[in-house]
A and B are shown apart, each in its own frame.
Chain A
Amino acid sequence: MFIILVLLLVLMILGAIVALESRDLLSGIISLGIIGFALTVIFLLLQAPDLAIVQIVIETITLVILIAAVLKTTKTDTTDEIGLPKMTLWLIGLAFIVIFLISAYKSCQHLPEFGSPVLRMAQYYIDQGFAVTGASNLVAAVILDFRGYDTLGEATVLFTSVAGVIAVLRKVGRTRP
């Protein structure tokens, strides 16, 4: 179990590196899909089918939208090179890796055992969720009854982001360069 999780995490990191380094945007996006689908397998292994369903459908449709958007644009990476020598960039990257590794090691020592909840509230949800809400899917009971405010905020954020996308990409009001 643990070995499979580590292997999937290594695969995700490799996919992210390939997506960053490839000059062709299409292959970059396709290798970005490795991250999402490996995350789906991880959710299934950790017995979270709700998250797995959401993750796999979101990943598929975002990949389709990104590919359809990329096929209409330049298809090549047009980021400018930073004007620093390569050795300096490597040193900065290594310094950040060391800092994050040290802080992650320090903070992981205080984490509780994997799978045991930190909050006493979670135990109340598991014990009383079905009796209080009447929903046999505990995840739906939590996100729509106990934590309804969060879902309301999420839906509003999605609405606002769609309004933003339409406002930025609209045809009316764009000046010709």
Chain B
Amino acid sequence: MRGMTIIVKRITQLMTPSIFLLGVYVILHGHLTPGGGFAGGVLIAGAFVLMVLAFGLEETKSEIHKWHVSFSESLGIFLFWFLAVLGLIQGTYLFYNMLAKGVVAIPGRLFSAGIIPLCNLAIGIEVAAALYAIFLTLAVLKMVEKL
């Protein structure tokens, strides 16, 4: 897959950091504002997809992205299951919110609501890696070319 013209490349250079940053913002503020892990993860995956589509495979070295993608996919789902089982380890139920919710952490601040931001973070990592992996497999790596 080759890259596109200089106009597309320049616009992509300007836009990609903003999209990535918006994704991180949406994930981290998922328990305060509309959004959450799923939407933010899709935004981050969109930043990567835009970069690969504009610059092509060789320039972005997407071949080495495969290992990172599979690692962060597994890391995200592992983190989420770990947070869920953490309640069981402590002797309570699954998804027990063991961190401070309203006593130490004031509701409405960034560090509040216990494990909900951590769950959002795990979902964000997992969704971003999943969609980018599907994109790499389906569209770029020339596996569907000669069916």
Contacts and interface: CB of A to CB of B under 8 A. Distances in A.
B46 A65 contact: no
Contacts of A151: 119, 123
B50 to A, nearest CB: 8
Nearest to A143: B36
A159 B35 contact: no
A134 B101 contact: yes
Interface residues of B, number: 56
Contacts of A152: 80-81, 84, 95
Question: How many A residues are at the interface, by size bracket?
Answer: 35 or more
Interface in A40-62: 49-50, 52-54, 57-58, 60-61
A156 interface: yes
A21 to B, nearest CB: 24
Contacts of A49: 34
Contacts of A68: 53, 135, 138-140
Contacts of B43: 57
- The interface centre, meaning the residue of B49, B102, B113 with most chain A CB atoms within 10 A of its CB, is B113
Interface of B: 26, 30-36, 38-39, 42-43, 45-46, 49, 53, 73, 76-77, 80-81, 84, 94-95, 97, 101-102, 105, 107-108, 112-116, 119-120, 122-123, 126-127, 130-131, 133-135, 137-145, 147
28 contacts: A50-B35, A53-B34, A53-B35, A53-B39, A54-B39, A64-B53, A65-B135, A69-B144, A72-B142, A72-B144, A133-B116, A134-B102, A134-B107, A135-B107, A135-B113, A136-B32, A136-B108, A137-B32, A139-B34, A144-B31, A144-B119, A152-B81, A155-B122, A156-B77, A158-B127, A162-B134, A165-B138, A166-B133
Closest 3 CB pairs of A and B: A134-B101, A148-B95, A68-B139
